Amino acid sequence: MSRKRTRLLDKPAGRENWPAAPVLLPNELLLEVWDYLAPLERVSISQTCRAWRNLSLGVPKFWAQVALVLSAERVWIPAPDPLARPRARRPHPQPVRDIYHPAPDADNLYFFGVALLRSGNLPLDVSVICERRPSYRLHVEPFRHLVESHIHRIARLHFSGFDWVSVLWNTYWPVLRMLTVGFDDRLIVFPDLPRLPPCDSRFPVLRQIHFGSPDISFDNDGTFFQSEFFVLGFPSVSELTITPTWMSYIGEALEACPCVSSLTLVLSDFDNPPYRTRTDEAVILRLTRVRRLCISGISSARESFVLTTFNDERLADITLDYQGRPRKAGATWYRSLPSPCGVLSDPLHVNLTAREGLYELEVIDSAQRRRDILLDESTIARAPPLWDAYIRGKVVHSAAVDARAWAYFAADVPAECPLSTLSITVGYEHEELDAVSLAPFGSVTRLRVDTLQPGTKFAQRAVQRLVRSRPQTSEPLASLSLARNCDFGIDGDLAKLADVLERH
């Protein structure tokens, strides 16, 4: 090994691209690195050199994720090299092709079958990516024949559009646990859950179904397919995502999946009449059996109906996803809408976090009912105010707030705010605490300061400034709790700020 290392260090100039260095890595380390590659890129590993090809072909796990690609009628041409020397007559660049970028009007069906054989007896994760309308005779039927002999191993199945799902009919899928149509399946978690007892269904262990508006749809009949699909019944499904157009369709989906514990409604195509009917009441009654409900894609025209209908006091956990929602700065249109937390019982506990561009507002009442509102950093400046929109008219006794989200939390606070217990979490920059002022919250008697970074050293007298920012007429702090693993200064000086000084 030392002689090989010496030869690599002494190799002549101009031979920097020798593949010897990567080849010298242990096989276990190579496989660990290859696991980070996307499934569509792993095939290039087997085409790099003979050693890598033999290693990849001998590991069935490497081929357990496979995709069938049907390319569009176009030619993909790489961009010209900006560092290349200009020529008088530059030849036309040739299209770059590989097994996952087939030629226009072509597919990789043959390699799809080869990859299935290379995967051994491992569970399969199959994706069908279609950039144009498939032919039943040339594409769908051959795909059906290929997967029939491996159907006992397919645990996850993803279709980019609804044109391929006819392969599901009249077939028994013994180990299929997740089916996605129209979503990017890489964004959906696939937990390794325990097996369910056998049930009378063609999909006995199917745990998750996710139907969304496909990026590529040719018949625009996805909703009709979903309605027909749920006639089969799926008693084992626990997580469900649908894109309904009517309330009645939600009822049909819940009837077909009676054991759903997590339901996501994407209301981008929701076109239900803006008034409540008996059918809507029956759907809400079915929703009371769902442990967690998430609603996204709410349009401005349907927001009032959605909040009035779904924000029912009988539903214990609701998440409203407003990420990417365009807003009008300075408008007060939100006052005509019902408050998302209006059905919760006083007093409330509020959690407001700001992590990685996501603002999450969690409101919990005394009965442990929960409302979760998701906002993003790009639209937070134009989002409705916290106190005047989301918790309007409610009594908040305790709150936990990230220092980065303090400006949003402390804006337009009502004059008679009874907040008594406050926890402030500082991120990875101790300067975040300098932007926090307790002037709007004179009723706070219990204060807790925490941090995400152990060992943070705060500026001198930063906590003293924070406590003394309270109104002069407010009562002295009954309790001040500080993170044990951070440096806030001398405890003797801090003890004068509250009756009880704690280190947590």
**Which of 62, 86, 110 marks a domain boundary?**
62
What's the pLDDT score for residue 194? 44
What is the mean pLDDT of the segment spanning 432-447? 87
Cis peptide before 347 (omega within 30 of 0): yes
Out of 57-66, 184-193, 296-305, 375-384, which region has the weakest mean confidence (pLDDT)?
184-193
Question: What are 450's strand-pairing partners?
Answer: 425
Sorting pLDDT into bands at 50, 70 and 90, what band is 74?
A: very low
Q: Are 242 and 226 in contact (CB under 8 A)?
A: yes
Q: Of 122-126, 308-312, 333-337, 491-495, where does mean pLDDT reach its minimum? A: 491-495
**Exposure b/e, 354-388, CB count within 10 A at least 16 = b:** beeeebbbbbbbeeebbbbbbbeeebbeebbebbb
Ranking 34-38, 119-123, 225-229 by mean pLDDT, the lowest is 225-229
Q: How confident is the model over 127-151, as a mean pLDDT? A: 81
Best-predicted range by mean pLDDT among 187-191, 298-302, 485-489? 298-302
Q: What is the CATH number of the domain that holds 44?
A: 1.20.1280
User: Is residue 57 included in any domain, yes or no?
Assistant: yes
Task: Output the pLDDT for position 372.
Answer: 94
Q: How confident is the model at residue 298 (pLDDT cuts 50, 70, 90)?
A: confident
Is the pLDDT score of 78 beyond 50? no
By residue range, what is the domain housing residue 46? 22-62
Contact 116/131 with Cβ under 8 angstroms?
A: no
**What pLDDT band is residue 361 in, cutting at 50, 70 and 90?**
very high
What's the CA gap between 98 and 45, in Å, rounded? 12
Q: Which residues of 100-127 are buried (b: 16+ CB within 10 A; e: fewer)?
A: bebeeeebbbebbbebbebbeeeebbbb
- Split into its structural domains, the chain has a count of 2
Residue 466, pLDDT score: 84
Q: Best-predicted range by mean pLDDT among 33-42, 141-150, 182-191, 464-473?
A: 141-150
On whether residue 56 sits in a domain, the answer given is yes
Please indicate, yes or no, if residue 391 is contained in any of the structural domains: no
pLDDT for 95 equals 47
CA distances from 231 to 201, 202, 225, 235 (A): 12, 12, 10, 12
Could you give the angle at the alpha carbon of 291 between the alpha carbons of 289 and 293, nearest 5°? 100
Q: How far apart are CA 68 and CA 111, in angstroms?
A: 9
Please indicate, yes or no, if residue 158 is contained in any of the structural domains: no
Determine, yes or no, domain membership for 256.
Answer: no
Question: Last residue of a domain, which of 31, 62, 93?
Answer: 62
What is the structure's pLDDT at 76?
41
pLDDT number for residue 220: 46
Does 143 or 78 have the greater pLDDT score?
143
Residue 503, domain member (yes or no):
yes
Q: What is the pLDDT of residues 366-388, one digit of tens each?
A: 888 999 999 888 777 778 888 88
What mean pLDDT comes out for the span 136-153?
A: 83
pLDDT at 309 over 90: no
Do the domain assignments include residue 446?
A: yes
* Partners of 423 in the β-ladder: 400, 448
User: Residue 495's CB: how many other CB atoms inside 10 A?
Assistant: 12
Residues 6+ apart with CB under 8 A from 32: none
CA angle (347 as vertex; 343, 349 as ends), nearest 5: 95
* Strand boundaries in 311-469, DSSP class E: 317-321, 348-355, 358-364, 370-376, 396-402, 421-426, 446-451
User: Where among 30, 62, 94 does a domain terminate?
Assistant: 62
Q: Is residue 346 part of a domain?
A: no
